[in-house]
Structure 1
Amino acid sequence: MEIATKDPLNPIKQDVKKGKLHYVANLFPYKGYIWNYGAIPQTWEDPGHSDKHTGCCGDNDPIDVCEIGSKVCSRGEIIGVKLLGILAMTDEGETDWKVTAIHVEDPDAANYNDINDMKRLKPGYLEATVDWFRRYKVLDAKPENEFAFNAELKDKDFAVDIIKSTHDYWKALVTKKTDGKGISCMNITVAESPFKCDPDAAKPMVDALPPLCESACAVPIDVDKWFHNQRN
């Protein structure tokens, strides 16, 4: 599922690859995602800006978040999180930051304050996170992803700086100081944005969207298939 950045009001939609609905493969030993995977609102990785840490431009999306708490969140759920660290992935030559965080209401949230707490309390989880992101596209006949900083996660202060900078890029986008090149900036909340519209005008667009069909839609049988990739 992706935030459809080029659609009005940016709804959540299933990604499509080569004309087919796109699912996350179960690449052994992982069953789908290994965390709650989401994004930070009001951030944007600017494709016109070359990141000083990675040497690559942004991927034209909000910053992704891997939430490591014990609750499996619902699709579209909005939660508050504590930042722990950030991974600098380069996906097909684009900077694609991955924030690691924990739900503020998680029973163990008080025990997690930085990346070292994650290493201590969830041994192997960071390594699995890097491995998952490194290999998850190989089944699409793509090369393994690469990382800055030798695939080491940076600390929460570093993560805050990255989030602040991508928030500034987002502000430039929604105030028309930057060309979004096809991104729909229509919104009902940002007062200073020339793209702001009245909620009454937005409601028909929302009402016209197709309903969820989780129970009615046929899911391809290979969605529940295990895949193995052999390393040479």
Structure 2
Amino acid sequence: MRTLLPLLRTAWACRVGPFVVARPPRGASAGPGSRTMAKYHREERGQPRSPSYRLFLKNEAGHYISPFHDIPLKVDSKESLFNMIVEVPRWTNAKMEIATEEPLNPIKQDAKNGKLRYVANIFPHKGYIWNYGALPQTWEDPHQKDKNTDCCGDNDPIDVCEIGSKVLSCGEVIHVKILGILALIDQNETDWKLIAINVNDPEASKLHDIDDVKKYKPGYLEATVNWFRFYKVPEGKPENQFAFNGAFKNKAFALEVIKSAHECWKALLLKKCDGGAINCTNVQVSSSPFHCTQEEARSLVESVSSSVNKESNEDADQTWHFLGE
């Protein structure tokens, strides 16, 4: 174990070691001007907009992977670029998310009481107002109290609001620059919301920290706070609250939060903490007791129906909600 811990630390730097996952393909640059991304492929199973729908990810070699555990957190040790898994494209309503409790953690649509979940349209916004997703290899530990918020984590990877100009696709893996962070308190749980931008966005070269968002995208941060404050009100729930009175913290603060969540994830994958129902099956973290072979991963995926079924093909309710301050 004495030799294991130093090697684990290299996962944050994405260097060679037993905790490292797939590298970017040869010839791919991690620099801000790069348009060559790691090649992850998507495979859909089941009927979209149904409880059976699952979107699995494969790596460049065509092997099934877990987007939660097998995609590296950082793109390159020399750049502050991170991999982001897109769960919800901008302007859409379906609440898609990484299935943290299922083997290989495919993306699925969240459901409550057997009914698929959609976010409401709260005027003037249509669905989600950013490309929404998560950072891999992070986990907000529900048993660990955050020193900044005095609340425990929400048991999920850290959420990301990508504010670039392009509407992305569910299951895309992109490289992002971290700009800042918002501390949402949801039912007494810490639910961090990172603000980031696709490194290939035309405006990415101008945005380096949270103050740049205020300068070049005026009103976006205020809209973000309001969206998170009110998005559950149409369901009959109270307004959400925030730490720091809803103020955004800067990039340096955000990077520390990410680093802490990455350490929690490493403890989870090494079975050093209580992960509860979280499924840690992975194919590339060789030091983890939850590691499985490529053949076992394929068998897990093949157990999920690939046929188009006739379960509920429910569309989002397009009602608009007008909420006052």
Query: What is the TM-score normalised by the length of structure 2?
Result: 0.68
Q: Deviations over 1:122-181 (max 9, x none)?
A: 100000000000010111111111111110100000000000000000000011001101
Whole-angstrom distance in 2 between the partners of 1:120 and 1:70: 16
- After superposition, what is the alpha-carbon deviation per residue over 1:82-101, rounded to whole angstroms, capped at 9, x for unaligned? 01000011001000000000
- Tell whether 2:290 aligns with 1:224: no
Paired residue for 2:105?
10
Matched AA of 1:195: F
Equivalent residue for 1:193, pick from 277, 288, 294: 288
* Equivalent-residue separation in structure 2 for 1:27 and 1:56 (angstroms): 28
- Aligned: 1:48 with 2:111: no
CA offset at residue 223 of structure 1? 2.1
Residue 300 of structure 2 is aligned to residue 205 of structure 1: yes
**Letter of the aligned partner of 1:74 in structure 2?**
S
CA distance in 1 between counterparts of 2:324 and 2:112 reads 23
Q: CA deviation at 1:57?
A: 0.4
Task: State the SS of the aligned residue for 2:178.
Answer: strand
- Code of the residue aligned with 1:23 in structure 2: it is Y
Deviations 1:16-64, CA, capped at 9 Å, x for gaps? 0122000111111110000000000000000000111111100000000
Partner of 2:176: 81
Instruction: Give the Cα separation in 2 of the matches to 1:69 and 1:108.
Output: 7
Flag the 1:211–1:130 CA change in 2: closer, same or farther, 3 A.
farther
Q: How does 1:122-133 map to 2 (within 5 A)?
A: 122-133=217-228
Question: What's the C-alpha RMSD, in Å, of the aligned pairs?
Answer: 1.6
Three-state SS of the structure 2 residue aligned to 1:161 is helix
Answering whether residue 237 of structure 2 is matched by residue 142 of structure 1, we say yes
- For 1:126 and 1:201, locate their aligned partners in 2 and report how far apart those are by CA, in whole Å: 44
In structure 2, C-alpha distance between the alignment counterparts of 1:217 and 1:181, rounded to whole Å? 30
**Do structure 1's residue 98 and structure 2's residue 193 form an aligned pair?**
yes
Match of 1:61 in 2: 156
4+ residue segments displaced more than 4 Å? none
> Quick one: which amino acid aligns to residue 141 of structure 2?
D
Cα distance, 1:217 vs. partner?
6.0
User: Which residue of the partner structure matches residue 279 of structure 2?
Assistant: 184
Aligned to 2:39: none
Give the Cα–Cα distance (whole angstroms) in 2 for the partners of residues 229 and 81 of structure 1. Answer: 32
* Letter of the structure 1 residue corresponding to residue 106 of structure 2: P
Higher percent of residues as helix? 1
- Counterpart of 2:119 (choices 20, 24, 45) is 24
- Which residue of the partner structure matches residue 70 of structure 1? 165
Distance (Å, rounded) in 2 between the aligned partners of 1:41 and 1:9: 12
Tell me the distance in 1 between the aligned counterparts of 2:212 and 2:156: 29
Determine which of 214, 233, 242 is the counterpart of 1:119: 214
Q: Number of paired residues?
A: 229
Q: Quick check: 1:157 aligned with 2:252?
A: yes
184-193 vs 95-104, which deviates more? 184-193
Question: 3-state SS of the aligned residue for 2:304?
Answer: coil
Question: Residues 135 and 211 from structure 1, CA distance in 2 versus in 1: closer, same or farther, beyond 3 angstroms?
Answer: farther
State which of 100, 105, 108 in structure 1 corresponds to 2:203: 108
1:182-214 per-residue CA deviation (whole Å, 9 max, x = no partner) reads: 11100001111010000111102112324496x
CA distance in 2, matches of 1:110, 1:67: 15
Q: 2: distance between equivalents of 1:35 and 1:45?
A: 21
